[in-house]
Structure 1
Amino acid sequence: MAGLTKQGMVQILARQGILIAFAAFMIGFALVNQRFIAMDNIFGVVRSSAILGVMALGVTFVVIGGNLDLSVGSMMSFSTIVVLDLHDKIGPVMAILAMFALTLALGAFIGFLVGYLKLNSLIVTLGMLSAIHGLTLTWSGGKNMDIADKAGTWFSVFGQGSALGIPVPILIFGLLAAALSLLLSKTPFGRRVYAVGGNGRAATFSGIPRARVVFMTYIVSAFCVATAGLLQASRSLGSQNTVGQGMELEVLAAVILGGASLLGGSGTVFKTVIGVLILGFIQNGLLLVGLDFYVQYMVTWAIIILAVWLDVAAKRGRLWSPIA
């Protein structure tokens, strides 16, 4: 009975521990600084987290499918630079379409390598991180990009506009999260993603086209990265060619915090959204209480370690290794 109770506690910690910690952070930050719970601050945090959140939605599919995608940061830089560069050359509409097409092509290439050629996703996407960064620098000539007529373009609506009093980036993040949540939880494709991530060999023997499912998860991820690139470019109407550098780790942290297992087969879009908000509010709270911005990196590292530990503990049914 005691063993069952202990195992139950481990399961509760694995499933709800991060939410409990998040609630504690929120209460603590609110007590230290009342501005933390002000509506303008809340909207500001969610808006600033929207780009990271949109990218995390796509990576959720990849991780649930049993793989990783470390190329999303460089790919977002590429998307941002491409749409800004083409905006003045072929107009905003064609620039957006071209950017989505090129980004999806990169996602398809990665999906082909991992899905059909069955190469290790960590190695492939780590290599693509550098390759796409080089592609971005080649496209931009090593220069940053800006839209010439910033005051006369409607392109800014995606990153700076609002509708019904809600910033457009938050609306896009919310609508995309809702659509992808339905895709993952209510469609045959979503069930196949869980099956492939949970046990790829069994899924193949069951008649599920494993390679195609993995390929499509990278297409979904690339679509989300292109959307994030659109938001980033529209928000500032200019960008450095390294704007997405390092974001792949933040994205992966948000997905893991949301409960997606690195072993594949578990996770939800809704919990990924929670993971994104956890990172956003914790970073905001640390700044409001007067801590330096670089403390965020140490706190994020500690949270990732805690999340991975709880995930592994849930799988083996105990907090500590049986050989410890």
Structure 2
Amino acid sequence: MSDISSKAASRPGSSKEKSMKPFSLSGVGGFLAKQGILIAFAVFMIGFTIANQRFLDPDNIMGVVRSSAILGVMALGVTFVVISGNLDLSVGSMMSFATIVVLDLHDKLGPLLAIPSMYAMVLCLGAFIGFLVGYLKLNSLIVTLGMLSAIHGLTLTYSGGKNMDIADKEGTWFSVFGQSTVLGIPVPILLFALVASVLGIVLAKTPFGRKVYAVGGNGTAATFSGIRRARVVFTCYLMSAFCVGTAGLIQASRSLGSQNTVGQGLELEVLAAVILGGASLMGGSGTIFKTVIGVLILGFIQNGLLLVGLQFYVQYVVTWIIIILAVWLDIAAKRGKLWSPIA
């Protein structure tokens, strides 16, 4: 009798096997894993529109996109880093540094020399990180986490612990990057679109873009295929630094003054936007277009929370929830199931 029961239990499709079988990503599970963020975004948009009719006002939409441009430009560079299988947690501190430097040099050298000088300094920081991660093969999380504190200290040392302001705010053309419009479209949005277009082409249509995917997908195989893995990683960090410098330029031009901690905490939002866009923390997947979508999703959710009357600090909780959800869905898509039993 025991043999019969054991055979029945071992048959395919038996109740015992069904109860042990993890939920597969076929059907509804697969749809949620791939499109869950978009569904959640649609729910947020509908809910915010019902709660406040101003949410879909054209001026509000333009304002959200404009305010998201700084975060978006930074996220574009980090997309390359993440696709290559690495992380960059130093972008927030680096943006503070870029903003403070360009504001300080504006009065000392003038904007024509201040801008390239700032880019040179920021690119040096990016090159240093790229050297540590790419050529010395140090862990990107540890390196960039350490650089987060180091660059913050460098910013405070450079500024003497003080905030920066341009002396003659009325007589400078420097404000064009953050305050002007072209055909009714704010310049920050145009810069965001321009950088996204160029980097999108680089990632999708050039040999370098294919190398980035190869290095992130399987670094060992990429090396044996003749791809110089260290050079690719190094270049990705340079691109990230360039984007951070552009974000710092927009930020400095927007207010013509800044606190020395203006970028503090942005690294988490940047990473959230990149993950929301579908880039995998495991490397090898992601696109510039989807990163732009991720940036807009994060911007509209934060704006909607404010319009419905919630305090600004609620954004941090929502951002954390979004990151956890996005990472879970990404891992679920990789392993083929939403969850699995403990072995």
Do they fold alike, i.e. is TM over 0.5?
yes
Q: How many angstroms does 1:323 deviate by?
A: 2.0
1:7 match: secondary structure: coil
Separation of aligned partners in 2, 1:14 and 1:182:
27
Amino acid at match of 1:84: L
Structure 1 residue runs without a partner (length 5+) = none
Match of 2:7?
A: none
1:201 match: secondary structure: helix
- Would you say the 8 A contact 2:24–2:336 is kept in 1? no
2:137 alignment partner, one of 109, 114, 118 = 118
* 1:146-175: CA deviation from partner (whole Å, max 9, x where unpaired): 000000000000000000100000000011
Residue 158, structure 1, aligned to residue 213, structure 2: no
Superposition pairs of residues 60-79 of structure 1, within 5 angstroms: 60-79=79-98
The CA RMSD over aligned residues, in Å, is 1.5
Q: How many angstroms does 1:301 deviate by?
A: 1.0
Residue 304, structure 1, aligned to residue 323, structure 2: yes
- Would you say the 8 A contact 2:33–2:338 is kept in 1? no
TM-score where L is the length of structure 1 = 0.97
Separation of aligned partners in 2, 1:62 and 1:310:
20
1:255 alignment partner, one of 274, 285, 293 = 274
Match of 2:45?
A: 26
Residue 100, structure 1, aligned to residue 134, structure 2: no
Residue 223, structure 1, aligned to residue 257, structure 2: no
Separation of aligned partners in 1, 2:83 and 2:24:
29
Residue 270, structure 1, aligned to residue 284, structure 2: no
Larger Rg: 2
Separation of aligned partners in 1, 2:302 and 2:75:
17
Separation of aligned partners in 2, 1:188 and 1:10:
35
Q: How many angstroms does 1:291 deviate by?
A: 1.1
Q: How many angstroms does 1:7 deviate by?
A: 2.5
Amino acid at match of 1:240: Q
Residue 128, structure 1, aligned to residue 147, structure 2: yes
2:59 alignment partner, one of 40, 48, 51 = 40
Q: How many angstroms does 1:19 deviate by?
A: 1.1
1:293 alignment partner, one of 295, 312, 331 = 312
Separation of aligned partners in 1, 2:151 and 2:29:
41
User: Once the two structures are aligned, what percentage of the paired residues are identical?
Assistant: 81
CA change 1:112–1:257 in 2 (3 A) is: same
Superposition pairs of residues 159-174 of structure 1, within 5 angstroms: 159-174=178-193
TM-score where L is the length of structure 2 = 0.92
Superposition pairs of residues 202-241 of structure 1, within 5 angstroms: 202-241=221-260
1:90 alignment partner, one of 83, 99, 109 = 109
Q: How many angstroms does 1:121 deviate by?
A: 0.2
Structure 2 residue runs without a partner (length 5+) = 1-12
1:10 alignment partner, one of 29, 48, 66 = 29
1:290 match: secondary structure: coil
- Would you say the 8 A contact 1:10–1:313 is kept in 2? no
The total of aligned residue pairs comes to: 324
Amino acid at match of 2:227: I
- Would you say the 8 A contact 1:25–1:282 is kept in 2? yes
Match of 1:184?
A: 203
Q: How many angstroms does 1:233 deviate by?
A: 0.2
Q: How many angstroms does 1:138 deviate by?
A: 0.9
